[in-house]
Amino acid sequence: MKAPRKTRGMASFAIFLFALVSVLVLVANFKLNFAVSSTSDAYDSFSSQLVEKNGIAQLVKESVLAVGETAISTSSGTLQSEIQARLSSIQFPSDVTISLDPGTPVPPVPANPFFPSAAPAAASQPAYFTPAGGVRALAGMGNLLSSLCLLGPVADLGRLTVVFDRSTSVSASDNRTYTVNADLFSVPLTNVDVVAYGLPVTGSVPGAAPAVPQGFFAPDVSCLTVTSNNPSSDPTAFGDLFASSGTEQLPYQYRNAVSFCWNAYEYLWSPAYQNALLGTALLGGAVYNFSSPPDQDVPGVTVSGTSATVDCSAVVGSVVAIVDPDGTGSVTVVGSPSPGAPFVLVVRNTAGQRTPVTFTGDNARPAIFYLENAGVTFAGNPQIQGALFLDPNTTASGSVTWFGHFSFYGPTSPLGTLGITVADSPAVKASLAPLAPRVLLVSTSATR
């Protein structure tokens, strides 16, 4: 028996409606999948561009540092040649080419002069958020760089701009231009209160992290440490510095720390820098050599036999040096009770026997003390203003309250025998900045 016509019509309409809904659902599902696929492709493309862009920015940073960083192995090449060399060593996809834009000249890296070679660039203390007096703000340049540039007097050396062309043979729409801005700052080493435990290129690996005495850090004291980044090679290493993909390859965000802690101190104790200090002292008639005493008196230095006394209140000139090439002398440093112009004291010993150096009395005249191969003693717990640089072969004992900068460098820590409290002093940092060694710090960012 046939179904009534009305019933057959309703069934047909229901089937039509179901088919229509099914088609709409399929279309919607297709559009959704297409949108998800497009979004995923766009995200992958964005991520790829971000990695590529950041890599180019880091390449520029490494190239700038190769030319202008304070390090023993600073390059004699140009910024363009350094960038070209790094670009040629990178393996891009076979269809991708990245090169320097031929229409945009690569600027030179500005000089980073500092004492004793030349007068440093004028201080131009930046603010964090708001530019002032033509000096750019630090916000967005990286937390480490910002922190280092806010600790004391710095010099803004300006901005370099490098342009790259990126082309691909697959899709013209993927051709683009990368513009990299490099912001450069000259920062005195004395701005950081404590720099500790940089591992030298030559020397044994430390057996353990240095013990920090109670009260070592007074309020607001800054500390920067860089060692080997491989925990299997150096138990003092920080875990977040380890890059398992290669040997001694620090992640790029720590590059400024490496410049400040590691490379700068390699340079600081190199013959080139130490000889420059001695040359300046010699020109000023302020070198006393135990093996060949000078004909004239050295202002601020009195000698009795093989014992020299440096009176900080009587030192004249910017550098005074005591040289003990045979390890036969001893030095006593007497603090100045009143402020005065800052100066540099170098005690240099290239013999096997350490030169005894004794600090006595409070010192209110800021000074930078470079002590090489010395056995340092602080008598009577003095309070001293200045910067204390200990080379890898120097030991220290006694107790002292230090206002300014303290650093030791190498596989041996003096903190097991030295009772030292370090206090932050902006006034001391400002006084020492014109005579302090400096580091070039770089922050790079890329846009397209």
Q: What is the mean pLDDT of the chain?
A: 85
How many other β-carbons are positioned within 10 Å of the β-carbon of residue 148?
24
Question: For residue 49, which amino acid is it?
Answer: Q
d(CA 278, CA 267): 15
Give the confidence band of 71 by pLDDT, cuts at 50, 70, 90: confident
Tell me the pairing of strands 374-379 and 355-360: parallel
Where residue 78 falls (left for φ over 0; alpha for ψ -120 to 50; beta otherwise) is beta
Give the confidence band of 202 by pLDDT, cuts at 50, 70, 90: very low
Which residues make Cβ contacts (< 8 Å) with residue 149, sequence separation at least 6? Answer: 126, 138, 185, 187, 441
d(CA 329, CA 373): 12
Question: For residue 367, which amino acid is it?
Answer: A
Instruction: Determine phi and psi for 49, rounding to 5 degrees.
Output: -65, -40
pLDDT of residue 109: 95
Give the confidence band of 100 by pLDDT, cuts at 50, 70, 90: very high
Q: Which segments of 269-372 does DSSP mark as H helices, in order?
A: 271-283
The 10s digit of each residue's pLDDT in 347-369 is: 999 888 999 999 999 999 999 99
d(CA 290, CA 373): 15
- The yes-or-no verdict on residue 145 having pLDDT over 70 is yes
Asked if 368 and 341 count as a contact pair (C-beta separation under 8 A), the reply is no
Where residue 65 falls (left for φ over 0; alpha for ψ -120 to 50; beta otherwise) is alpha
Peptide bond into 294 cis (omega under 30): no
Give the confidence band of 12 by pLDDT, cuts at 50, 70, 90: low
Give the confidence band of 132 by pLDDT, cuts at 50, 70, 90: confident
Mean pLDDT of 172-194: 94
Instruction: Determine phi and psi for 69, rounding to 5 degrees.
Output: -70, 150
Q: Which helix (H) or strand (E) holds 164?
A: strand 155-168
pLDDT of residue 232: 56
Per-range mean pLDDT, top range of 67-71, 127-131, 184-188, 413-417: 184-188
Give the confidence band of 44 by pLDDT, cuts at 50, 70, 90: very low
How far, CA to CA in Å, does 201 sit from each of 143, 167, 243, 289, 411? 27, 40, 18, 30, 10
Asked if 442 and 156 count as a contact pair (C-beta separation under 8 A), the reply is no
Residue with tokens 């709409």: 24
Which residues make Cβ contacts (< 8 Å) with residue 12, sequence separation at least 6? Answer: none
pLDDT of residue 34: 57
What ranges do the domains of the chain cover? Answer: 40-189+441-447, 194-423
d(CA 123, CA 156): 7
d(CA 389, CA 269): 10
Which residues make Cβ contacts (< 8 Å) with residue 124, sequence separation at least 6? Answer: 133, 134, 135, 154, 155, 156
d(CA 210, CA 169): 56
- Weakest mean pLDDT among 2-16, 89-103, 154-168: 2-16
- The yes-or-no verdict on residue 169 having pLDDT over 80 is yes
pLDDT of residue 27: 63
Q: Give the residue, 27 or 94, on which the prediction is more confident.
A: 94
Asked if 48 and 239 count as a contact pair (C-beta separation under 8 A), the reply is no
Beta bridge partner(s), residue 446: 180
Q: Which segments of 69-198 does DSSP mark as H helices, in order?
A: 79-88, 143-149
- Reading the block at residue 236, the tokens are 């003092």
- The yes-or-no verdict on residue 157 having pLDDT over 90 is yes
Query: CA quadruple 304, 305, 311, 316: dihedral positive or negative?
Result: positive
Tell me the pairing of strands 355-360 and 383-390: unpaired
pLDDT of residue 33: 64
Give the confidence band of 220 by pLDDT, cuts at 50, 70, 90: confident
- Weakest mean pLDDT among 23-27, 81-85, 390-394: 23-27
- DSSP secondary-structure letter at 207? S
- The yes-or-no verdict on residue 59 having pLDDT over 80 is yes
- Reading the block at residue 346, the tokens are 């170098």
- The yes-or-no verdict on residue 207 having pLDDT over 90 is no
pLDDT more than 70, % of the chain: 78
- The yes-or-no verdict on residue 381 having pLDDT over 50 is yes
Strands (E), 6-103: 96-100
Reported pTM: 0.84
